[in-house]
Amino acid sequence: MNYQSTRDRSAKVSAARAIVQGISHEGGLFVPETLPVLTPEELEGLVGLSYNEKAKAVLSRFLTDFTPDEIAHCVDGAYNTRSFDTHDIAEISKVGERSYFLELWHGPTCAFKDMALQLLPYLMKVSMDKEAPGTEVVVLVATSGDTGKAALAGFADVPGTRMLVFYPENGVSGMQKLQMVTQEGENVSVCAIKGNFDDAQSGVKAIFTDPSIEAELRKNGQMFSSANSINWGRLVPQIVYYVAAYTALVEQEEIAFGDTVNVCVPTGNFGNILAAYYAKRMGVPIGRLICASNRNNVLTDFIRTGVYDRNRDFYTTTSPSMDILISSNLERLLFHLSGEDDGLIRRWFASLAETGRYAVSPDVQEKLQAEFWGGFCDDQAAAEAIHGQFDRYGYLCDPHTAVAVKVFEDYVRETGDDTRTIIASTASPYKFCGSVLPAVTREPVPEDPFAQMELLHRVSGMAPPASLAGLKGKPVRFTGSIEKGQMADKVKEMLR
Ligand SMILES: *Cc1c(COP(=O)(O)O)cnc(C)c1O
C-alpha cells in the first residue's frame, strides 16, 4: 500500500518513505492510498490480546513495507514497563455511568504524545535503513509544550539522528519548560522563540522546503524529518489506542461487541481526533467524534459553519497544548471528505496561506457535521470541570482533559445522546499543577512547582509520576530565546 500527498495525488511513496520524509515536497501531507479495514471478525479477534499484539495487528495494515519482525521489534521496543508505568500501556478509568477516560499519559513524559513518540524513533530507524541507509536524519520539532519533551525523550542518543525543538517562550507550562530545558542527550537541542506555537510550526514548515538548507543537508549526508503530527509515523500509533480501547471495553464487559461508542477528544492540531476518525473508517463502531477546543475555538466555528478563519485573537490558556489556530491535520480529513480532491485541497490551503481563511463546499460541510460535533470552553469552565470531577468522583484530570469533560457535558445536554463515550485523557494532572491545584482547592498555590506537586499529592492522594518528581535539581542545559525570524539560522548553526 502506498501513500499519496493531499496536495498532489500523483506524489506516491511507500510508508517508510512517508515516515522519513515527514511531509510531501509540495507541502501536502501523506495519507494512505486506500484505508485498510478490519472485518468485524478480525476486530473481535483482537479482544483479549495485549496492547502490543493489538498494535502489531493495526500497524501491519498500514506499514505494508515493514516485515512482521520489524513491526514486532518496533512495538515491543516502544511499549513496555521500562517506559510506561502500567502493563496496559493505555489505561481506562470508568468515571460516572457512561464515560471512560482513556488515559494516554502513562509514558515517560506524562502526555499522550508518548504513545506515538516512543514508537516513532523505531519506525524512523527501520524506515531510514530501507529508504536512505547511511543518512543522518535531522528531526525538527515545533511544540506547544508536550510534543517537544516526548520527542526529545524518544530520540535522545538514538544513533543516526539529531533533533532540534522550538517552543514558544511564554506558551508552555513551568513543568513543560523544565522538562525540555533539562533534557539530556548529545544529539538533541532545545530553543525558545519569541512567538506562539503557530509561529514555530510555520517556521519549521518553511525550513523544510527551503532549497538552500536542503542543499546544505545533501552535502552533509543528512536529511530532514518531522516528529510533529504532520508525519504519518506520528498518527498511525494513535489509531492503535482507539482500536485497543474499544476492544478493552468489550473485555471489561462494559459494552457488547458491536455496540457503538462516541469519542470526545481535546483538540489542537487535530491529530488525536483524526486518529479516532481513522479507527472508525477501519471498522471500529464509533459514532460521533466530539471535538473539544479551548478559547482558541477556530475548530468549533469551522465544524459549525464550514468556514475556517484564523484571523482572530490568539489566547494563551491553561491548556497550552491546544493553543493553536492552524490545525494541520484537518488537511488530511478534508482530503478524505472531499473525495480525495487534491485540487480543492491546494486551493483551500493556498487561500489559508494568503488570506488566513477558506470555506469548504456545502457537501463537505455536511459530511463533516455528520461525523463531528464541535464545542469549546474557557479556562474558568475547565477549572470548574476539574473541580466537579474531583468532587463527585475523586478523579483528577488535567486542564486539557477538563476541556473535553466540559464539552462532552455540553454535547449531552444539547443532543440528549446517551451513547457510552471514550474521553481521551491527554496529560497527567501533575504536568499542570499550577492550574489543577487551585481548581481543586480553590486556594492560592505556592510558587515553586515542586511544592505544588507535593501539595497536590497531599490533597488528592494520587502519587506524582517519578519522571516529574525527578526533575528537581536537574541542571538546565538550554537557556535564552531567539526571534522567530532567526529559526533558519539556528538550524544552519546546528547542521555545522
Ligand atoms: C498535543 C495535546 C493535545 C492536542 O492534541 P492534537 O493531536 O494536537 O489535537 C491535547 N492535550 C494535550 C495534553 C496535548 O499534549
pLDDT per position as a tens digit, 104-144: 999 999 999 999 999 999 999 999 999 999 999 999 999 98
Q: Pick the residue whose CA is nearest to atom 1 on ligand 1.
A: 321
Atom of ligand 1 nearest to the CA of 105: 13
Does residue 426 have its Cβ closer than 6 Å to ligand 1? yes
Atom of ligand 1 nearest to the CA of 401: 11
Look up residue 392 and give its three cell numbers. 463527585
Does residue 237 have its Cβ closer than 6 Å to ligand 1? no
pLDDT for 144: 82
Query: Which segment of 43-47, 207-211, 308-312, 413-417 scores lowest on mean pLDDT?
Result: 207-211
Confidence of residue 384 (pLDDT cuts 50, 70, 90): very high
DSSP 8-class letter at 478: -
Q: What contacts 275, CB < 8 A, 6 or more positions away?
A: 235, 238, 239, 241, 242
pLDDT of 229 over the 90 cut: no
Does residue 321 have its Cβ closer than 6 Å to ligand 1? yes
Instruction: Calculate the alpha carbon distances from 433 to 36, 82, 201, 449, 470 in Å.
Output: 41, 25, 26, 7, 15
pLDDT of 246 over the 90 cut: yes
Does residue 267 have its Cβ closer than 6 Å to ligand 1? yes
Q: Cell 498555590 sits at which residue? A: 445
Atom of ligand 1 nearest to the CA of 275: 7
pLDDT per position as a tens digit, 299-322: 999 999 999 999 999 999 999 999
Q: How far apart are CA 179 and CA 471, in angstroms?
A: 7
DSSP 8-class letter at 427: B
Atom of ligand 1 nearest to the CA of 400: 11
Q: Residue 187: which of 162, 204, 168 has the closest Cα? A: 162
Q: Pick the residue whose CA is nearest to atom 2 on ligand 1.
A: 321
Classify the phi-psi angles of 453: left when phi > 0, otherwise alpha if psi is within -120 to 50, otherwise beta.
alpha
Look up residue 237 and give its three cell numbers. 500509533
Q: Residue 241: which of 46, 435, 386 has the closest Cα? A: 46
Q: What contacts 330, CB < 8 A, 6 or more positions away?
A: 270, 274, 299, 302, 308
Q: Pick the residue whose CA is nearest to atom 8 on ligand 1.
A: 269
pLDDT for 293: 98
- 124 and 225 Cβ atoms separated by less than 8 Å: yes
Q: How far apart are CA 263 and CA 243, in angstroms?
A: 12
Q: State the distance from the centre of ligand 1 to the C-alpha of 266, rounded, in angstroms.
A: 7
Q: How far apart are CA 375 and CA 470, in angstroms?
A: 37
Query: Which segment of 68-72, 144-148, 406-410 scores lowest on mean pLDDT?
Result: 144-148
Q: How far apart are CA 265 and CA 392, in angstroms?
A: 22
Average pLDDT over residues 2-25: 95
pLDDT of 95 over the 90 cut: yes
Instruction: Calculate the alpha carbon distances from 216 to 187, 203, 221 in Å.
Output: 19, 18, 9
Atom of ligand 1 nearest to the CA of 113: 15
Average pLDDT over residues 191-220: 91
DSSP 8-class letter at 246: H
Confidence of residue 29 (pLDDT cuts 50, 70, 90): very high
186-223 CB burial, b ≥16 within 10 A, e <16: ebbbbbbbebbbbbbbbbbbebbebeebeeebeeeeeb
Q: Pick the residue whose CA is nearest to atom 14 on ligand 1.
A: 321
Question: Considering the chain, what percentage of its residues have pLDDT values greater than 90?
Answer: 92
- 440 and 286 Cβ atoms separated by less than 8 Å: no
Give the phi and the psi of residue 98 in degrees, each rounded to 5: -130, 10
Average pLDDT over residues 152-156: 96
- 364 and 306 Cβ atoms separated by less than 8 Å: yes
Q: What contacts 163, CB < 8 A, 6 or more positions away?
A: 138, 139, 140, 141, 151, 152, 155, 187, 188, 189, 227
pLDDT of 458 over the 90 cut: yes
Confidence of residue 171 (pLDDT cuts 50, 70, 90): confident
Does residue 333 have its Cβ closer than 6 Å to ligand 1? no
Q: State the distance from the centre of ligand 1 to the C-alpha of 378, rounded, in angstroms.
A: 16
Atom of ligand 1 nearest to the CA of 270: 9
pLDDT of 494 over the 90 cut: no
Task: From 29, 115, 146, 152, give the residue whose CB has the most ligand 1 atoms within 8 Å, as the site to mutate.
Answer: 146
DSSP 8-class letter at 26: T
Q: How many Å from the N-terminal Cα to the C-terminal Cα in the chain?
A: 37
Task: From 102, 106, 112, 430, give the residue whose CB has the most ligand 1 atoms within 8 Å, as the site to mutate.
Answer: 112
Does residue 146 have its Cβ closer than 6 Å to ligand 1? yes
- Exposed/middle/buried for 391, CB within 10 Å: 0-12, 13-18, 19+? exposed
pLDDT for 92: 98
Distance of CA 248 to the CA centre of its chain: 21
Q: How far apart are CA 151 and CA 322, in angstroms?
A: 17
pLDDT of 277 over the 90 cut: yes
The type of residue at 244 is A
Atom of ligand 1 nearest to the CA of 431: 13
Give the phi and the psi of residue 425 in degrees, each rounded to 5: -100, 110
pLDDT for 173: 83
Average pLDDT over residues 73-97: 96
Q: State the distance from the centre of ligand 1 to the C-alpha of 358, rounded, in angstroms.
A: 24
Which neighbouring-strand residues pair with 422?
Answer: 100, 263
pLDDT for 406: 98
pLDDT of 197 over the 90 cut: no
> What is the pLDDT of the chain when averaged over all its residues?
95
SS3 341: coil
pLDDT for 198: 87
Task: From 104, 267, 372, give the residue whose CB has the most ligand 1 atoms within 8 Å, as the site to mutate.
Answer: 267
For the packed helices 362-371 and 330-337, what is the interaxial angle rounded to 10 degrees?
A: 110
pLDDT for 25: 86
Give the phi and the psi of residue 192 in degrees, each rounded to 5: -85, 140
Q: State the distance from the centre of ligand 1 to the C-alpha of 322, rounded, in angstroms.
A: 6
Does residue 269 have its Cβ closer than 6 Å to ligand 1? yes
Confidence of residue 355 (pLDDT cuts 50, 70, 90): very high
Does residue 155 have its Cβ closer than 6 Å to ligand 1? no
Q: State the distance from the centre of ligand 1 to the C-alpha of 122, rounded, in angstroms.
A: 22
pLDDT for 129: 95
- 437 and 455 Cβ atoms separated by less than 8 Å: yes
CA atoms within a 13 Å half-sphere pointing along the CA-CB vector of 251 = 17
Atom of ligand 1 nearest to the CA of 267: 9
Q: Pick the residue whose CA is nearest to atom 15 on ligand 1.
A: 146
The type of residue at 169 is E
CA dihedral 340, 346, 347, 348 (to 10 degrees): 80
| Strand pairing class (307-309; 357-359) | antiparallel
